[in-house]
Amino acid sequence: MSAPDERAVPVNAPSDEEVSATMNKGYAPEVRERLERDAKEIIGRYPRPRSALLPLLHLVQSEDGYVSDDGHEFCAEMLGLSKAEVVGVSTFYTMYKRRPMGQYHVGVCINTLCAVMGGDQIWDELSEHVGVGHDEATPDGKISLERLECNAACDFAPVMMVNWEFFDNQTPDSAKQLVDDLRDGKEPSPTRGPKKLCTFKEASRVLSGLPDGLAGDGPSAAGPSLEGLKIAKANGWKAPEA
């Protein structure tokens, strides 16, 4: 999980109107009951309840598409924390969103290697094409965009992610086509990992520690990541004994 980057991230705090529109609506009883059941399962995995704060923030994000005021209060209540303590954590990490994200949250890596391989150009063209900026969603709620730091996939630069699944070796044109396909309901397959894309809310639920059963689907390593292994095997090289 990455901490904020002041270079890449413009000021993007919700406006006063956005904040007041989301204050204290309260979860419906059946939603609250379901969230409590899931939260108790997660909290039970840790020796101290407060250690479950990060996964619980993902859990409430899976309900609302961002960490709402209700979500902050729910986490505080479940963990015996003050709301200020919860907000202090959720506003530090960039994976917790302060306004609703799209059904498909599209990230463009603009960190060093991806940037020099075209990531900055992809971001500029894609942002203009979609008409939204960093951590903003389209009015129809389908797409949100984020400037991402390194995704540990530099050997496939420039990379993009949709709901945290990889789309490797992108260009400005392929990025725009990818987003157009998502908006048209075509559900393109990630380059690696599961063939089917989940929604942003579903991905948040998985990040809370409640698996969707797809973790082992599809290849996780491929192409350039395996070149060194192939060369070592061809030459009979082995790691030195410890």
Contacting positions for ligand FES (CB under 6 A): 109, 111-114, 150-151, 153-154, 157, 159
Residue nearest to ligand FES (CB): 114
When the beta carbons of 143 and 159 are compared against ligand FES, the nearer one is 159
Work out how close the CB of 156 gets to ligand FES at its nearest, in angstroms, rounded to a whole number.
Answer: 7
When the beta carbons of 13 and 226 are compared against ligand FES, the nearer one is 226
Work out how close the CB of 150 gets to ligand FES at its nearest, in angstroms, rounded to a whole number.
Answer: 3
CA 214 – CA 17 distance, rounded (Å): 38
Work out how close the CB of 154 gets to ligand FES at its nearest, in angstroms, rounded to a whole number.
Answer: 3
When the beta carbons of 59 and 115 are compared against ligand FES, the nearer one is 115
Work out how close the CB of 152 gets to ligand FES at its nearest, in angstroms, rounded to a whole number.
Answer: 6
When the beta carbons of 71 and 119 are compared against ligand FES, the nearer one is 119
When the beta carbons of 100 and 107 are compared against ligand FES, the nearer one is 107
Residue type, 15: S
Work out how close the CB of 75 gets to ligand FES at its nearest, in angstroms, rounded to a whole number.
Answer: 30
Q: Single out the residue of 32, 146, 159 nearest to residue 93, CA to CA.
A: 146
When the beta carbons of 90 and 111 are compared against ligand FES, the nearer one is 111
Work out how close the CB of 38 gets to ligand FES at its nearest, in angstroms, rounded to a whole number.
Answer: 31
Cβ count within 10 A of residue 122: 25
